[in-house]
């Protein structure tokens, strides 16, 4: 059996001491795999080599973003140090509807989005409530759903921002716009409490960045959050989450404590 782990930083850090076999670190895509991806994204094959070089050696997210910008290669800085965040901002600037553009970027804070969330959470949090009624929210949701580079659609009326984008951009949002992010999290936690308690908990935990009280954490509550959700939370919340789930905390490892197992005595972590 092989375990595949992904996330910001060292995703295996909480269980690193339990690993007794060599770890294979996966880097960017090779040239052949990158060409296949770019072909699926409709890129002119003549541009494959240029985009691969600009992606920093096959960085999957950068490949996707450059693919969206393949008609502007000559207009964008070709530095190897160009970041995914920069490319993301260039793509946002190409959204025609100014209101959608204003909502799309901070909307990445939200775990899930539908038209009601746009109307009752996102727009009021950004001071745009007067511009977004129910009909306009539906229009904005429909327009946002067509930006496949930015969001995934679940078929049930919900959108979520792509996980690879969230991993890159979410820390930047919390760093650059902490008050705005905190207001979105506060309103989302309140609105989702009667609609989706798991998403409400996620936003309650994110709101602790701004000093909001830590909600009660239990393994039963946390199990509904995915590993990707937990990886997006503040480090202090991840520490408490690991402890609630019966995992060794990062701080414990740093202090040289021994290996720990789950409450059931096995080596299983969250699924």
pLDDT tens digits along 222-268:
888 888 999 999 998 888 888 877 754 444 444 433 333 333 333 44
Residue 110 has which token pair? 């939200």
Note the helical H segments in 177-234: 178-192, 197-207, 219-222, 227-231
Among 262, 214, 220, 254, which residue's Cα sits nearest to residue 236?
Answer: 214
The answer to whether the CB of 64 falls within 8 A of the CB of 40 is no
Residue 50 has which token pair? 């240029």
Q: Is 151 helix (H, G, I), strand (E, B) or coil?
A: strand
d(CA 90, CA 101): 11
Residue 8 has which token pair? 């910001």
Give the model confidence (pLDDT) of 68-114 as tens digits: 777 776 666 665 556 777 777 778 888 999 999 999 999 999 999 99
Residue 249 has which token pair? 């905390």
What pLDDT sits at residue 79? 58
pTM, 2 dp: 0.69
Residue 229 has which token pair? 């959700």
The stretch 61-72 carries a mean pLDDT of 73
CB atoms within 10 A of CB 135: 10
């Amino acid at each position: 059996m092989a375990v595949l782990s992904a996330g910001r930083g060292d995703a295996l850090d909480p269980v690193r001491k339990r690993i007794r076999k060599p770890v294979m670190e996966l880097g960017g895509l090779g040239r052949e795999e990158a060409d296949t991806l770019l072909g699926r994204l409709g890129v002119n094959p003549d541009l494959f080599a240029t985009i691969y070089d600009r992606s920093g050696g096959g960085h999957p997210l950068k490949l996707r973003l450059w693919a969206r910008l393949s008609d502007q290669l000559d207009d964008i800085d070709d530095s190897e140090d160009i970041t995914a965040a920069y490319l993301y901002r260039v793509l946002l600037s190409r959204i025609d509807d100014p209101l959608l553009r204003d909502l799309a970027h901070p909307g990445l804070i939200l775990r899930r989005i539908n038209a009601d969330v746009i109307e009752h959470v996102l727009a009021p949090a950004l001071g745009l409530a007067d511009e977004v009624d129910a009909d306009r929210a539906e229009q904005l949701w429909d327009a946002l759903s067509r930006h496949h580079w930015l969001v995934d659609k679940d078929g049930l009326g919900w959108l979520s921002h792509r996980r690879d984008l969230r991993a890159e951009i979410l820390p930047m949002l919390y760093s650059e716009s902490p008050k705005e992010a905190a207001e979105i999290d506060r309103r989302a936690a309140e609105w989702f409490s009667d609609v989706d308690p798991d998403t409400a908990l996620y936003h309650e935990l994110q709101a602790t960045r701004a000093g909001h009280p830590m909600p009660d954490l239990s393994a039963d509550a946390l199990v509904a959050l995915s590993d990707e959700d937990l990886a997006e939370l503040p480090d202090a919340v991840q520490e408490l989450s690991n402890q609630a789930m019966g995992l060794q905390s990062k701080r414990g490892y740093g202090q040289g404590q021994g290996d720990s197992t789950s409450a059931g005595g096995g080596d299983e972590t969250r699924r």
